[in-house]
């Protein structure tokens, strides 16, 4: 009997087909959640649809290795009974390093605890779980522990949103100190490539680092146009 469902969330990114193909022949049920936003709503759709003991949250910009599901199941099985989620790293080609990215959940522990839309994302989720006596686990963030790749292909708009959001969350939590040299690195990357993608990544980082802090309930929502991005588009060739 299959123990795990892999939920693939998509809003039409260019990596979706590669993401979906990478899950073929892995020991899981694959269920696609298309065009459900904001992100917390897509996560709550996973809670509603899940009929297996475990489920994996797979973003469409994640390309998993052939043994990823097996390794994720082993990771959650090694955790204490009150661990609701375990996280494994992915190698991020945009950031050029391993990042914590893919998560596997015990459905029975979380099915009655809805996800809440919050700029702090996972940090806020963990605070909610703690109030229910639950915690989370993770494997070490090393290349050897990576179960897939991330950041392999971004549109200019996705690059802008990613870097803007990373900076906004870091300014609130101070948990991404590695990001500080990236203002200069992104500028240098654009000087070398001249690409629209690198231009928008650089602009997203500088805007996220300097604009007013976002309110708690602000965050990525593909159903809502970003007025800042729209203004940039109107100014760019």
Closest CA to 19 of 27, 28, 99, 10: 10
For 144, counting Cβ atoms within 10 Å of its Cβ (0-12 exposed, 13-18 middle, 19+ buried), the class is exposed
For the entire predicted model, the pTM comes to 0.85
Whether pLDDT at 214 is above 90: no
pLDDT in tens, 27-67: 999 999 999 988 899 999 999 999 999 999 999 999 999 99
CA separation for the pair 57, 87 (Å, rounded): 10
pLDDT in tens, 94-138: 988 999 989 999 999 999 999 998 877 788 899 999 999 999 999
Q: What are phi and psi of 104, to 5 degrees?
A: -120, 140
| CATH classification (class only), 4-150 | alpha beta
Dihedral sign of CA atoms 22, 24, 27, 32 in order: positive
pLDDT band, residue 236 (cuts 50/70/90): confident
Q: What is the pLDDT of residue 227?
A: 83
CA separation for the pair 164, 183 (Å, rounded): 11
CA separation for the pair 71, 147 (Å, rounded): 8
pLDDT in tens, 150-200: 988 888 988 998 899 889 888 888 878 888 899 999 999 999 999 999 999
Whether pLDDT at 225 is above 80: no
Residues of the chain with CATH 3.90.550.10: 4-150
Whether pLDDT at 233 is above 90: no
CA separation for the pair 102, 109 (Å, rounded): 18
Kindly state the helix (H) or strand (E) to which residue 46 belongs, with its residue range: helix 39-49
Q: What is the pLDDT of residue 217?
A: 62
């Amino acid at each position: 009997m299959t123990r795990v469902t892999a939920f693939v969330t998509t809003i039409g990114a260019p990596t979706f087909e590669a993401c979906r193909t990478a899950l073929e022949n892995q020991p899981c049920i694959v269920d696609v959640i298309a065009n459900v936003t904001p992100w917390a709503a897509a996560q709550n759709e996973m809670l509603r649809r899940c009929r297996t003991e475990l489920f994996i949250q797979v973003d469409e910009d994640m390309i998993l290795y052939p043994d990823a599901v097996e390794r994720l199941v082993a990771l959650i099985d090694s955790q204490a009974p009150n661990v609701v989620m375990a996280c494994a790293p992915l190698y991020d080609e945009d950031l050029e390093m391993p990042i914590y990215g893919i998560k596997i959940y015990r459905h029975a522990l979380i099915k009655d605890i809805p996800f809440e839309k919050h700029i702090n994302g996972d940090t806020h989720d963990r605070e909610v779980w703690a109030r229910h006596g639950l915690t989370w686990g993770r494997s070490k963030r090393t290349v050897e522990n990576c179960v897939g790749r991330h950041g392999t292909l971004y549109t200019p708009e996705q690059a802008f949103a990613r870097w803007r959001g990373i900076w906004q969350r870091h300014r609130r939590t101070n948990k991404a100190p590695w990001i500080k040299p990236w203002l200069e690195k992104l500028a240098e990357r654009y000087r070398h490539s001249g690409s629209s993608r690198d231009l928008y990544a650089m602009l997203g980082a500088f805007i996220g680092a300097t604009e007013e802090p976002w309110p708690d309930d602000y965050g990525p929502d593909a159903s809502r146009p970003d007025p800042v991005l729209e203004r940039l588009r109107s100014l760019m060739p």
